[in-house]
A and B are shown apart, each in its own frame.
Chain A
Amino acid sequence: MIEIVSRDRCVRCDICVKVCPMDVFEPGTDGVPVIARQPDCQTCFMCEAHCPADALFVAPLAGPAPAGSPYTDEAALVASGAMGRYRHVIGWGRGRTPGSRLDKNFVFTARLAASGGEGPSRTDASGDDAGVSERQPEAS
């Protein structure tokens, strides 16, 4: 769940308020958004991806971080480069290569298909749970 809006880094653009699909943030009286409805957070990292200032940190937990958790220690998270990490890995921000350009999904779907990840013997399986199914063509 969302744990940190960094007051030092926030540029008061309210993008997080706008893009959060769960409506977790409220505009702050001083311009820095506040986490108003943390229990509604679905840990989707979309705010972290869209924040232009790497001012947000979403912990990997499905629930709120316990008191004293390293996930609420802003100084340590800043030092470790954890802030805005999702934006970095998907290649958003100036000078970065869009992550989609490096997308190697086709390598793994092809592997799975070749190993028989789907077939008539698996009629009791729930199918392509991993979002994987087709033998990929040699060229597309």
Chain B
Amino acid sequence: MSPSAAPHLVRDADVLVLGGGPAGAWAAIAAAEAGAVVVLADKGYCGTSGSAASGGNNLWYVPPDLALREDAMARREAIAGGLTERRWMARVLDETYRQINRLAGWGYPFPVDDAGVERRSSLQGPEYMRRMRRRVHRSGVLILDHHPALELLADADGAVAGAAGIRRQQGGGRWEARARAVVLATGGCAFLSGAFGLNVDTGDGHLMAAELGAELSGMEFSNAYALSPAYGSHTKGLMMQFASYYDEDGDRLDVGDMTAARRPIARMLADGRQVFARLDKAPPGLREAMRQAQPNYFLPLDKAGIDPFAQSYPVRLVFEGTVRGTGGLRVTGDDCATTVPGLYAAGDVATRELITGSVSGGGSHNGAWAVSSGTWAGAAAAAFAARQRRADRPRAAGRAGLRPYGPAGGGPDAAEVVGAVQEEILPLGRNYFRSSEGLRRSLGALDGLWTSVAAHLTGEGREALRARQAAAMVAHGRWMYRAALAREESRGMHQRVDRPAADPRLAHRVRVGGLDEIWTAAEETREVTA
């Protein structure tokens, strides 16, 4: 895209939703139900894009029974590092329950258990997102597939006024959508690690929002890794509850159960050792049910000719960043507003600390968060749009990777930038086993990359997206590591080898923001949790 070129496609909407995964779909539906004219633009295809579509999705779905809800919240609080808020957990449980029951009404084929009761605590991604697309469409929302957004538009007062990007399957020309409110639902960032279905998640929304001054939170909780076969990328973990692990010599490793095993396995892999897994603890009577529970754990193994019940297979840990991690844009109120007027955050682009704290929300909490935050953000965006004047001549806010301040070219190209970022972010030795020294060294490299990207990097057509994604990943990495330095302790998934204990004085969230200059600040949690 030539950022200054006249757009080929201009749309007007009350609410523009960026991203067509679950959070974006729920947001679009909620905004349309509130009477707004809604456009949803997806980088890929609404129905297959995003971390939920290709996988299975456990849901934090708990019936409105006081004891069950109390138990669900207390269990999470016990591991969440004191960063959750009870009120948010309760409202997510409420909203998720309500909306998933609507999904059942729309015809999602839930399973029925032996007692004849429909079980609604799990969604299979392809079916879920096929249904959601249909519902979005029937709500009167205009869906623009393969319309990646590259930048936000802003009015003279700094409120968001739309977005612009490229029509990548129609010659790469510019599209522009003017809107009175925008919901960002662009997902987390997995740094093109190749993790199952996550390469669409490159943190584009975080960068766009930060260019309008949005703040982030929890970015130190950004180093989720998941086990997959060493040759592949299929990070489905549920079945690993039946796994035993072995070393190169076939000796069984004493690494504990599924949750505890991760750290010693990560240590071995970081040291260049090989680790093998076999589901030898799976009772034969359960094996068919296992296949039905997680077909996409078994399919890649079947295709590779591996019987995981009988044969051990080599594993690796694949990086899932802030997708299965927790940090993201800070929300300032119940409506999932960001610090930018008119801009709302839903799903993995937003911090999930409020309901999952310092540990991963996995599929379950993150899935519930997508449903709830999407619904709230969509409704709030519609309400904001109804009282917001249309901007006369919005300004295009995109900078690094799109409108360099120096001459184009002269620095590393997009692929080289991505490679250099991955070198700092993906290795277990740097990001899983964090230390002050390592973080500082990586930040030095990333800060240098940012300087070059901001000055020189841009691209045309499809390359415009690659350049912008590269810039987004550099920014993301810098927020992550700056926040990780600020948290001089270990808490949840953020483990510092040089500070192995939790520090009670740091039982608060860490805000981070800025682009050329990055800042961090403490945010006290507003309520004391158990």
Contacts and interface: CB of A to CB of B under 8 A. Distances in A.
A82 interface: yes
Given A44-B197, A126-B262, A132-B364, A100 B79 contact: no
Contacts of B199: 22, 40, 42
A61 B346 CA distance: 32
Nearest to B289: A104
Contact of A125 (B145, B300, B359, B502): B359
A136 B71 CA distance: 11
Q: Report, as a range, how many residues of chain B touch the other chain.
A: 35 or more
B111 interface: yes
A118 B304 CA distance: 32
A102 interface: yes
Interface in A24-65: 40, 42-46, 49-50, 59-62
B113 A106 contact: yes
A134 B93 CA distance: 12
Interface residues of A, number: 63
B62 A134 contact: yes
Interface string B493-526: 1010000001000000000000000000000000
Contacts of A136: 119, 121
A99 B127 contact: yes
A127 B292 contact: no
Contacts of B308: none
Contacts of A122: 79, 259-260
B124 interface: yes
A103 interface: yes
A106 B119 contact: yes
A49 B48 CA distance: 10
Given A90-B295, A98-B109, A99-B292, A42 B260 contact: no
A92 B260 CA distance: 37
Contacts of B79: 118-120, 122-123, 125, 127
Contacts of B229: 60
A137 B56 contact: no
B17 to A, nearest CB: 16
Which interface residue of A42, A132, A136 has the most chain B CB atoms within 10 A?
A42
Interface string A99-140: 111111111110110010111101111111111111111011
B293 A103 contact: yes
A109 B121 contact: yes
B197 A61 contact: no
Given A59-B303, A105-B238, A127 B126 contact: no
B205 interface: no
A86 B492 CA distance: 35
Nearest to A113: B75
21 contacts: A18-B45, A19-B48, A21-B48, A42-B198, A60-B300, A99-B124, A100-B128, A103-B122, A104-B111, A104-B289, A108-B294, A119-B78, A122-B260, A124-B495, A125-B262, A126-B262, A126-B360, A127-B361, A131-B364, A132-B238, A134-B62
Given A60-B229, A106-B111, A133-B365, 20 more contacts: A21-B49, A43-B194, A43-B234, A45-B296, A46-B53, A60-B231, A60-B299, A71-B303, A100-B128, A103-B119, A109-B121, A119-B78, A123-B81, A128-B362, A128-B365, A130-B240, A134-B62, A134-B72, A135-B71, A140-B121
Interface of B: 43-45, 47-50, 53-58, 60-63, 65, 68, 71-72, 75-76, 78-81, 108-113, 115, 117-124, 126-128, 145-146, 168-169, 194, 196-200, 224, 226, 229, 231-234, 237-241, 257-260, 262-263, 286, 289-296, 298-304, 324, 356, 359-365, 367, 462, 490, 492-493, 495, 502
